[in-house]
Structure 1
């Protein structure tokens, strides 16, 4: 092999996928020439503080306010960085959002608002509709997270319970020019879904939001039911308030997968990319990809180049009520069980933001020895999967991937390294 030990190689591929999405690499290249007039920088998301740092590395100190996750602060000279809670919003995020809206209200024609938006912004940029309390918004958010609802469906609900999402951030800045840079963490890279589209027009209705809550059996406070019985404040795509808004996606899952693929090919590995927008229950997606990996291996003979199977997107885990588990660790655990110690197949599954579910762990790596190691340590993989306790399982094995804050967020990264075993 022309690459290191498999688990080391897979970690290198993941690190490369994260590195090409670093705001310090992608934001400066996307900035227009610095205008002479007033500039106000706003933003929200796990990558937003790093994006603000990148802006000031080119333009120098700027006026502005950005909201990021606790622990994700970056050094900036002029832009104020405020930390708040994710994935469930808190009072710090709500207070900061009100300050941001007030700042935008001070802008006018001829001013430039630079919006820095990334995944995580849905929770961090929080302004509940006036007839809904923060406590009620938190309860609905927590229930949606437990339900396993896909992120695009969750974000439709979030928009219609908000006074800042679904184009309303841009509307607050009108008639100033809004130039929005986005780092995508959503399948398909739809700007309207990234952080619930604060600078993007919205086509869904309050009835759509109500239907989603009913579909996933979310208990709705009376205020939410009442609020969704009428049209909400989201801004339609053709509205005048959005005429001077430009949205540009500067980093996306597809670009990170391609970067990992290039590195693998440079090491003599054949690459197959399954897609960058795969969704579904983590354990079900794992079973499907294991079947694909086994099929590839069955057609290989010793001496052939290894094959790397890559995919991105966002898995879900339904009924997360007991253990400590995230979708990537659950994917890895389900894959290990499905592989059942099969020789020659290693895998990694990680969230590029370094946080898998609610745990400060990016994900996990598995090998043919995973189940044997678990048995020796007395860890039960089936029980861990049944109770959604995958992080505890991999912590016992020492096979967690822990990065700390990566300061970017381009969704999940999954890879199988497949080596031939048939002569």
Structure 2
């Protein structure tokens, strides 16, 4: 050992980088804003606020409460509702696989999402049987949240679950927005587009809805089981044909969509919106405001991720001269048109695309960008989204990865795993679409 007393070989801690520290602080702030957005969408609290203003209906003599909860927030909504009910109660709760939250005394189904599975089909049949047994003195309570469309596949006669799975896979890969996809889905279901109401008649239906759809159109949330459909079979055919999907669909689906329209009046329902994306965007902005100047963009981020990324990068360029830290916050739901075979989701791909645009035209100040799904799951992955920064693409290149090739293959999850930029939250028990946060240091 040298006379100094130090070992011959020793490691010196690298000097702290002010830029690296600032990026880390910005990432921490972005995550705090996102967490605030998720908390605002807590389904139990949202339902409690609504029930304080809209008391539950009372069953008639000998009547029951029949509860159907469906969606990613179904267990939390069920737990909040059941203690409010007295007398005879029968409850079914349908949520996604991996959501292990308790749902009180309800019968629970954990079904496939985003592609329907046999558990979802079994759940749909249980819901149909419950509704068909409803009488005029019963009171049906529907608890609806995002994800419900895939979780309750109830194909009409002549259409199989495999046919529905093929349709859903084609829609998810098409780049169509959620409204167009749900218009089509409604026409291939016994429950969607008001089918729930037809099955429950003559029992009155009261629905409490947590919106995952930009604009909060009740017809599009979980494909609108308790409201009129978004369109007709003819419009569904037109959408599928314009997206070049029609000829590749199973013959049973094409035959069904070419059948006659149902013109019978839809039974009435009492629908209550209990929360949505705009509330969560507001909560994120409020959480960020003590430390940063905040601009919440009222125009949602929708459409293809490449278009949305360009819009975000334009905002980044426009505000690069702003003095002091700045936050820009959006809400919305984008789409991805699949051209490759990689693994990812719309939020991960959006975050990676923003990083790629900023890498091509670097800024002289630190920045981070977060895009996350409030349900905690982005596509068929374990991530809610990602938080990229100015060093994301350099980190990839440093280890020999090709960011452009990964993007071209829609392999955002692998890219962001390698760059250590994934946003991991686990299932949140809620779903009000996506939140995006751009921070400038």
- Distance (Å, rounded) in 1 between the aligned partners of 2:392 and 2:386: 11
Q: Give the aligned partner of residue 281 of structure 1.
A: 304
- Distance (Å, rounded) in 2 between the aligned partners of 1:26 and 1:280: 28
Instruction: Tell me by how many angstroms 1:284 deviates.
Output: 2.2
Show structure 2 runs of 5+ residues with no match.
Answer: 1-20
- Distance (Å, rounded) in 1 between the aligned partners of 2:162 and 2:356: 40
8 A contact 1:62–1:78 mirrored in 2: no
Q: Give the aligned partner of residue 20 of structure 1.
A: 40
- Distance (Å, rounded) in 2 between the aligned partners of 1:350 and 1:324: 16
8 A contact 1:257–1:276 mirrored in 2: no
- Cα deviations across residues 282-332 of structure 1 (Å, max 9, x unaligned)? 12211221111111113x23xx3x221111111111125411111111111
- Within a 5 Å distance, the mapping from 1:18-167 to structure 2 comes to 18-31=38-51, 32-34=54-56, 36-37=58-59, 38-59=64-85, 62-167=89-194
Q: Give the aligned partner of residue 294 of structure 2.
A: 271
Residue aligned with 1:200, SS: coil
TM-score normalized with structure 1 length: 0.92
Q: Give the aligned partner of residue 10 of structure 2.
A: none
8 A contact 2:23–2:368 mirrored in 1: no
8 A contact 1:62–1:77 mirrored in 2: no
The match for 2:313 among 265, 284, 290 is 290
The 1:156/1:413 distance shift into structure 2, 3 A limit, reads: same
Instruction: Tell me by how many angstroms 1:415 deviates.
Output: 0.8
What RMSD in Å do the two structures reach over aligned CA positions? 2.0
- Distance (Å, rounded) in 2 between the aligned partners of 1:211 and 1:87: 23
Residue 347, structure 1, aligned to residue 369, structure 2: yes
Residue 312, structure 1, aligned to residue 331, structure 2: yes
- Distance (Å, rounded) in 2 between the aligned partners of 1:226 and 1:126: 18
Q: Give the aligned partner of residue 276 of structure 2.
A: 252
The match for 2:400 among 375, 378, 390 is 378
Q: Number of residues paired by the alignment?
A: 409
8 A contact 2:228–2:266 mirrored in 1: no
Instruction: Tell me by how many angstroms 1:344 deviates.
Output: 2.2
The match for 1:331 among 350, 367, 379 is 350
Residue aligned with 1:313, SS: strand
Greater shift in the superposed pair: 29-38 or 274-283? 29-38
8 A contact 1:93–1:125 mirrored in 2: yes
Residue 188, structure 1, aligned to residue 215, structure 2: yes
Residue aligned with 1:347, SS: strand
- Cα deviations across residues 69-103 of structure 1 (Å, max 9, x unaligned)? 01213223321111110111111111111111111
Residue aligned with 1:67, SS: strand
The match for 1:363 among 385, 390, 405 is 385
Instruction: Tell me by how many angstroms 1:400 deviates.
Output: 0.5
- Cα deviations across residues 175-228 of structure 1 (Å, max 9, x unaligned)? 212111111111211000000000011251101001111111111222111111
The 1:416/1:67 distance shift into structure 2, 3 A limit, reads: same
Instruction: Tell me by how many angstroms 1:126 deviates.
Output: 1.1
Greater shift in the superposed pair: 109-118 or 153-162? 109-118
Residue aligned with 1:162, SS: coil
Residue 225, structure 1, aligned to residue 254, structure 2: yes
Instruction: Tell me by how many angstroms 1:249 deviates.
Output: 1.3
Residue aligned with 1:63, SS: strand
Residue aligned with 2:311, SS: helix
- Distance (Å, rounded) in 2 between the aligned partners of 1:91 and 1:175: 29
- Distance (Å, rounded) in 1 between the aligned partners of 2:55 and 2:314: 50
- Distance (Å, rounded) in 1 between the aligned partners of 2:272 and 2:356: 41
Greater shift in the superposed pair: 13-22 or 215-224? 215-224
The 1:232/1:165 distance shift into structure 2, 3 A limit, reads: farther
- Distance (Å, rounded) in 2 between the aligned partners of 1:153 and 1:161: 13
- Distance (Å, rounded) in 2 between the aligned partners of 1:378 and 1:28: 52
Residue aligned with 1:55, SS: helix
8 A contact 1:281–1:316 mirrored in 2: yes
Residue aligned with 1:5, SS: helix
Residue aligned with 2:382, SS: coil
Show structure 1 runs of 5+ residues with no match.
Answer: none
Residue aligned with 2:94, SS: strand
- Distance (Å, rounded) in 2 between the aligned partners of 1:48 and 1:138: 22
TM-score normalized with structure 2 length: 0.88
